[in-house]
Amino acid sequence: MLMLRCTEQKGTAMLLSQGLLAISGVIVLVLGALHLAFTFRGQRFDPRDADLLSRMKEVSPFITRQTTIWRAGQGFHASHSFGAMLFGLVYLYLALEPSHFLLGSHFLLGLGLVYLLAMVVLARRYWFSIPFRGASLSCIAYAAALVANAT
């Protein structure tokens, strides 16, 4: 009887861990997708100063004359979005994968936590409240999954 109860608790903890990891992945996936959409649609990432926007579209960085500050920025925004979406998709898939491979991999669990903590630090230091809150929420869900998995 005790063994059955322990097995049920382990199963419940595993389902909770999987759900929290999936939520964490979905949050990062959605943030990345929104960031990509905002990069190429509308003016959300444009500077408020029209003259500055014009100069950014004319001036090249020291590293090369083959691009402009504006085009390089667009590329950085897009690649950042793809990275977030890749993380979200991979960890969402691994969280829901039937063999529970992710829950047994200390390396991948640790790597995911390091990534999310880095995103929280970057969002707090360089970005604004929405990505900071989203990254923090994703990190909290992820950490809660690790705690549930450890029980």
pLDDT in tens, 15-45: 999 999 999 999 999 999 999 999 999 899 9
What is the C-alpha separation between 35 and 79, in angstroms, rounded? 10
pTM equals 0.88
Find the helix packing angle between 2-40 and 69-96, rounded to 10°: 160
Alpha carbon 109 to chain centroid, angstroms: 14
Please tell me the predicted confidence (pLDDT) of residue 128.
Answer: 94
**Mean pLDDT value across the chain:** 92
What value does the mean pLDDT take over residues 55-72? Answer: 95
